[in-house]
Amino acid sequence: MTTRDPIDMLLSGRMGRREFSQTLASLGLGVATVPLVTHNAAAQEAEAHYLTWAGYELPEFHQSYIDKHGVSPDIGFFASVNEAMQKLRAGYHADVSHPCSDNVTPWYEAGLLAPIDTDRLKHWDDYFEVFAQIDETLTADGENLFIPFEWGNSSILYRTDIVEIEEESWSLLFDERYEGKLATYNAPYPGVQVPAMILGYENLESLTDAQLEEIRKLLVKQRKLLRFYWDSQSEAGQAMAAGEIVATYAWNSLVKPMRDEGLQVKFMTPKEGARTWVCGLVLTAPELRTSSDERVYDFLDSMMSPEAGAFLISEYGYGHGNSKAFDLVPQERLEEVGLPDPNKFLEIGNFLKPIPKEFDEKYVRLWEEVTLGM
DSSP 138: B
- Examine the pLDDT at 221 and tell me if it is beyond 80: yes
Please tell me the pTM assigned to this model.
0.75
pLDDT at 37: 44
pLDDT of residue 344: 85
pLDDT tens, residue by residue, 66-94: 999 999 999 999 888 889 999 999 999 99
pLDDT at position 44, please?
A: 58
* DSSP tag of 358: H
Domain residue extents for the chain:
5-145+276-304, 153-273+354-371
**Coil, strand or helix at 238:** helix
Please classify residue 181 by burial: count the beta carbons closer than 10 Å to its beta carbon, then call 0-12 exposed, 13-18 middle and 19+ buried.
buried
Domains 5-145+276-304 and 153-273+354-371 share a fold: yes
- Enter the DSSP assignment of 297: H
The CA-to-CA distance between both ends of the chain, in Å, stands at 36
Residue range 158-178, pLDDT digits in tens: 999 999 999 999 999 999 999
Amino acid at 212: L
DSSP state, residue 107: H
Q: Taking 70 as the threshold, does the pLDDT of residue 17 lie above it? A: no
Inter-residue contact 315 to 58 (CB < 8 Å): no
Which residues are CB-neighbours of 93 under 8 A, at least 6 positions away? 49, 288, 289, 290
Give the DSSP letter string of 128-181.
Answer: -GGGGG-GGGB-TT--B--EEEEEEEEEEEEETTT---SS--GGGGG-GGGTTS
Q: Which of 98, 188, 110 is nearest to 150 (CA)?
A: 98
CATH of 153-273+354-371, one of 3.30.950.10, 3.40.50.300, 3.40.190.10, 1.20.970.10: 3.40.190.10
Domain at 5-145+276-304: CATH code: 3.40.190.10
